[in-house]
Amino acid sequence: MKTRVCIIGGGPSGLLLSQLLHLQGIDNVVLERQSRDYVLGRIRAGVLEHGFAELMREAGCGERMDREGEIHHGFFIAHEGRLDRIDLHRHSGGNSVVVYGQTEITRDLYAARDRMNGVVIHNAEDVRPHDLTGAAPYVTYRVGDEIRRIDCEFVIGADGFHGVSRKSIPATELREYERVYPFGWLGVLSRTKPVSPELIYAKHERGFALCSLRSQVLSRYYIQVPLSDRVEDWSDDAFWAELKRRLPGEVAARLVTGPSIEKSIAPLRSFVAEPMRYGRLFLAGDAAHIVPPTGARGLNSAASDIHYLYHALLDHYRHGDPSGLDNYSAKALARVWKAQRFSWWMTTLLHRFDDAIPYDQRLQQVELEYLLASEAAQAALAENYVGLPF
């Protein structure tokens, strides 16, 4: 098989780039290790920056998001039994976020690929990129016992943190930066009415909690748990009881509980791999960077990578201009590191750190006091949360 761009990974990053390129007549193929149902079975991000929403509309995939997604102009911070609202809309000069699950984003992107007869190959085993530093890279993969080959001009590594692309870059070429947090998030999805019309980020001495949603009949909740916890350690009742302990009384009193339809523990890490290019291979999304979900930057950081790559490939194919591709890594990393900073800051602000020295505990408390008392600090939070410019 021959194509112009071979995209490894059929998650939101890979599918969004595939759709954008196809709309511009740039031939591409997506190779996905899992089945479509498996990919759609993952419950992940919930909050979209306005830049991500714009990109979905540009890809012709924004119609259901605009119809079913919720525009949120702010969120609450719960602490010491009270709620303080951060007015994103006012502090960001009129911007907001869209609450619409990543699962639905991925579903809409698959539907758009199908409508355009886009080529997405599922259950592609042992995907391997080859000759990345030459002018004619290719990718091999296995279906059953048969090894297949795709000749291409560029390879996009959109295969997430555990993918093959980043690992195809020689260690001598790659610099990796990582911080692993000493806790995880236990997440529950339930067919219950959300406890609050806007998200609640709760800082509590027992640990962090988050009240989020997917719709008015589908709620998403998280509590910080030790890394040693396993999901089978937590019954639904135990989860709901702990969540209530971490919320202000008036909120806990109106929490509607119900059976979990999904329950999982996600570890928290900050990670960046530099550079995001090696020859004809370009990394995008989780393949190159990971953030703790506290700042809702994970999926949104992938969006700016895709935006930059899309325009760089357009410039290359339309105008023979390689500058976008040559500048991609530096440009993408400049925004990635700002998302890293914000995610680290939100995580440090709101979580319980058992090994924190008393000075750091007081600093955490005064950081929150300063934020809630300062218009400038809230404006800084808002501009990051709604999304820094691409």
- In the list ligand PHB, ligand FAS, none, the entry touching 299 (Cβ below 5 to 8 angstroms by class) is ligand FAS
The reply on whether position 304 binds ligand PHB by CB under 6 A is no
Q: What does the alpha-carbon distance between residue 243 and residue 202 come to, in Å, rounded to a whole number?
A: 10
Site stretch for ligand PHB (CB under 6 A), options 231-239, 270-278, 290-298, 333-341? 290-298
Among 18, 19, 92, 102, binds ligand FAS (CB under 6 A): 102
**Nearest in space to 311 (alpha carbons), one of 296, 297, 322:** 322
- In the list ligand FAS, ligand PHB, none, the entry touching 220 (Cβ below 5 to 8 angstroms by class) is ligand PHB
Give the per-residue contact string, 16-45, with ligand PHB (x = CB under 6 A; - = no): -----------------------------x
The reply on whether position 160 binds ligand FAS by CB under 6 A is yes
The reply on whether position 33 binds ligand FAS by CB under 6 A is yes
Among 7, 11, 119, 317, binds ligand FAS (CB under 6 A): 11
Among 164, 213, 272, 346, binds ligand FAS (CB under 6 A): 164
Which residue lies nearer to ligand FAS by CB, 34 or 140? Answer: 34
Among 184, 293, 324, 387, binds ligand PHB (CB under 6 A): 293
Among 28, 212, 300, 378, binds ligand PHB (CB under 6 A): 212
H/E stretch holding 8 reads: strand 5-8
CA dist 372 to 75, 84, 135, 208, 379, Å? 13, 7, 54, 18, 11
Kindly state the smallest distance separating residue 306's Cβ from ligand FAS, in Å. Answer: 9
Bridge partners (DSSP) listed for residue 75: 86
Give the three-state DSSP class for 100.
Answer: coil
Site stretch for ligand FAS (CB under 6 A), options 9-17, 83-91, 146-154, 335-343? 9-17
Q: What does the alpha-carbon distance between residue 309 and residue 216 come to, in Å, rounded to a whole number?
A: 35
The reply on whether position 46 binds ligand PHB by CB under 6 A is yes
Which residue lies nearer to ligand PHB by CB, 9 or 295? Answer: 295
H/E stretch holding 66 reads: helix 63-68
CB 140 within 8 A of CB 130: yes
The token pair that represents 26 in the structure block: 């740039």
Q: What does the alpha-carbon distance between residue 178 and residue 174 come to, in Å, rounded to a whole number?
A: 13
DSSP 300-331: HHHHHHHHHHHHHHHHHHHH---HHHHHHHHH
CA dist 8 to 35, 123, 138, 350, Å? 14, 12, 12, 35
- In the list ligand PHB, ligand FAS, none, the entry touching 294 (Cβ below 5 to 8 angstroms by class) is ligand PHB
CA dist 27 to 131, 236, 316, 373, 390, Å? 20, 47, 14, 52, 25
Site stretch for ligand FAS (CB under 6 A), options 159-167, 172-180, 238-246, 309-317? 159-167
Instruction: Give Cα 148 distance to the centre of its chain.
Output: 31
What are the backbone angles phi and psi of residue 320, rounded to the nearest 5°?
Answer: 60, 25
Among 194, 285, 292, 387, binds ligand FAS (CB under 6 A): 285
Give the per-residue contact string, 181-200, with ligand PHB (x = CB under 6 A; - = no): ------------------x-
Residues within the interface to ligand PHB (CB under 6 A): 45-47, 199, 212, 220, 293-296
Residues within the interface to ligand FAS (CB under 6 A): 8-14, 31-34, 39, 44-46, 102, 124, 127, 158-160, 162-164, 266, 285-286, 293, 296-300, 302
